[in-house]
Chains A and B, each alone.
Chain A
Amino acid sequence: MMPTEVCTPVGKPLPFNDNRHLQAHQFLVDEAYLLDAQDYETWLDTLTDDIRYLMPVRVTTALGAGFDTSPEMAHFDEDKYSLSRRVARFATEHAWTEDPPSRMRHYITNVRTFACEDDAHLVVESAELLFRSRGDVNEAALVSCGRNDVLRWCGDQLRLARRNIMVDESVLRMQNLAVFL
Chain B
Amino acid sequence: MADHRHVLDGVVDNVRRGMIPAHIYNDNELFELEKERLFSRTWMFVAHESEIPQDGDYVVRRVLDDSFIVTRDADGNIRALFNMCLHRGMQVCRAEMGNASNFRCPYHGWTYRNDGRLTGLPFHREAYGGEGGFPKSRQTLLPAPNLASYNGLIFVNMDPCAQPLEEFLGNFRFYLDFYTRQSPGGLEVRGPQRWRIKANWKIGAENFAGDMYHTPHTHASIVEIGLFREPKAQKRKDGATYWAQCGGGTTYKLPPGNFEQRMRYVGYPDEMIDRLKRVWTPSQQQLVGEDGFMISAASCFPNLSFVHNWPKVLDSPDGTDDVLPFISIRLWQPISENETEVCSWFAVDSAAPPEYKKNSYKAYLMCFGSTGMFEQDDVENWVSLTNTAGGAMARRLLLNSRMGLLSDDRPVVDPLPSEAFHGPGYAQVGYNEHNQRALLRLWADHLEMPVRTAAPA
Task: Say yes or no: A61-B98 contact (C-beta < 8 A), given A89-B222, A96-B377, A175-B383.
Answer: yes
Check B373 against A89 for contact (C-beta < 8 Å): yes
Within 8 A of B (CB), among A53-92: 55, 57, 59-62, 65, 70-78, 81-82, 85-86, 88-89, 92
Which of A76, A95, A171 is the one whose CB lies under 8 Å from B377? A95
Check B95 against A75 for contact (C-beta < 8 Å): no
A140–chain B nearest beta-carbon distance, Å: 12
Check A62 against B100 for contact (C-beta < 8 Å): yes
Set of chain A residues within 8 Å of B381, measured between Cβ atoms: 96
Check A175 against B225 for contact (C-beta < 8 Å): no
Check A73 against B195 for contact (C-beta < 8 Å): no
A44–chain B nearest beta-carbon distance, Å: 14
CA distance in complex: A88, B377 (Å): 15
Which of A76, A81, A94 is the one whose CB lies under 8 Å from B371? A76
A157 contacts partner chain B, Cβ-Cβ < 8 Å: no
Check A172 against B370 for contact (C-beta < 8 Å): yes
Check B97 against A59 for contact (C-beta < 8 Å): yes
B186–chain A nearest beta-carbon distance, Å: 18
Compute the total of residue contacts between A and B using a CB distance below 8 Å.
121
CA distance in complex: A102, B376 (Å): 13
Task: Say yes or no: A85-B377 contact (C-beta < 8 A), given A59-B96, A71-B190.
Answer: no
Set of chain A residues within 8 Å of B341, measured between Cβ atoms: 171
A81 to chain B: closest residue by CB: B315
B153 contacts partner chain A, Cβ-Cβ < 8 Å: no
A170 contacts partner chain B, Cβ-Cβ < 8 Å: yes
Which of B95, B366, B370 is the one whose CB lies under 8 Å from A65? B95
B380 contacts partner chain A, Cβ-Cβ < 8 Å: yes
Check B373 against A85 for contact (C-beta < 8 Å): yes
Which of A60, A65, A75, A94 is the one whose CB lies under 8 Å from B193? A75
Check A65 against B98 for contact (C-beta < 8 Å): yes
Q: Mark B375-393, 1 if CB is under 8 A from A, else 0.
A: 1110111010001000000
Check A96 against B95 for contact (C-beta < 8 Å): no
B218 contacts partner chain A, Cβ-Cβ < 8 Å: yes
B199 to chain A: closest residue by CB: A175
Check A173 against B346 for contact (C-beta < 8 Å): no
A19 contacts partner chain B, Cβ-Cβ < 8 Å: no
Set of chain A residues within 8 Å of B369, measured between Cβ atoms: 75
Interface size class of B (residues with CB under 8 A): 35 or more
Q: Mark B166-200, 1 if CB is under 8 A from A, else 0.
A: 00000000000000000000000011111111100
A179 to chain B: closest residue by CB: B371
Which of B95, B97, B195, B315 is the one whose CB lies under 8 Å from A175? B195
Which one of A94, A171, A172, A175 has the greatest number of beta carbons of chain B within 10 Å?
A: A175
Which one of A72, A78, A176 has the greatest number of beta carbons of chain B within 10 Å?
A: A176
Q: Mark B202-246, 1 if CB is under 8 A from A, else 0.
A: 000000000000000010111011110000000000000000000
Set of chain A residues within 8 Å of B156, measured between Cβ atoms: none
> Interface SS of chain B: helix, strand, loop or mixed?
mixed
Number of interface residues of A (CB under 8 A): 38
Task: Say yes or no: A81-B100 contact (C-beta < 8 A), given A61-B95, A70-B191.
Answer: no
A82–chain B nearest beta-carbon distance, Å: 6
A154 contacts partner chain B, Cβ-Cβ < 8 Å: no
A177 contacts partner chain B, Cβ-Cβ < 8 Å: yes
A77 to chain B: closest residue by CB: B365
B278 contacts partner chain A, Cβ-Cβ < 8 Å: no
Task: Say yes or no: A94-B221 contact (C-beta < 8 A), given A86-B373, A175-B380, A177-B370.
Answer: yes
Set of chain A residues within 8 Å of B361, measured between Cβ atoms: 72, 77
Check A82 against B195 for contact (C-beta < 8 Å): no
A172 to chain B: closest residue by CB: B195
B313 to chain A: closest residue by CB: A82
A17 contacts partner chain B, Cβ-Cβ < 8 Å: no
B94 contacts partner chain A, Cβ-Cβ < 8 Å: yes
B16 contacts partner chain A, Cβ-Cβ < 8 Å: no
Task: Say yes or no: A97-B222 contact (C-beta < 8 A), given A57-B191, A85-B373.
Answer: no
Set of chain B residues within 8 Å of A60, measured between Cβ atoms: 94-96
Which of A72, A94, A171 is the one whose CB lies under 8 Å from B194? A171
Check A82 against B362 for contact (C-beta < 8 Å): yes
Set of chain B residues within 8 Å of A37, measured between Cβ atoms: none
Which of B190, B196, B315, B346 is the one whose CB lies under 8 Å from A172? B196
Which of A61, A85, A177 is the one whose CB lies under 8 Å from B97? A61
CA distance in complex: A173, B196 (Å): 5
A10 contacts partner chain B, Cβ-Cβ < 8 Å: no
Which one of B222, B225, B314 has the greatest number of beta carbons of chain A within 10 Å?
A: B225
CA distance in complex: A77, B98 (Å): 23
| Residues of A near any B CB (own CB < 8 A) | 55, 57, 59-62, 65, 70-78, 81-82, 85-86, 88-89, 92, 94-97, 138-139, 170-178
Extra contacts, 20 of them, besides A57-B192, A57-B193, A173-B196 (Cβ < 8 A), are: A57-B191, A57-B194, A61-B95, A61-B97, A61-B98, A70-B190, A73-B346, A78-B365, A82-B313, A86-B366, A95-B221, A95-B376, A96-B221, A96-B377, A170-B96, A175-B197, A176-B370, A176-B375, A176-B376, A177-B371
Could you show 24 A-B contacts with beta carbons less than 8 Å apart?
Answer: A57-B191, A57-B194, A60-B95, A72-B190, A75-B365, A75-B369, A77-B365, A81-B315, A82-B313, A82-B365, A85-B225, A86-B366, A89-B222, A89-B224, A92-B220, A92-B224, A95-B221, A97-B380, A171-B195, A172-B195, A173-B195, A174-B195, A175-B198, A176-B195
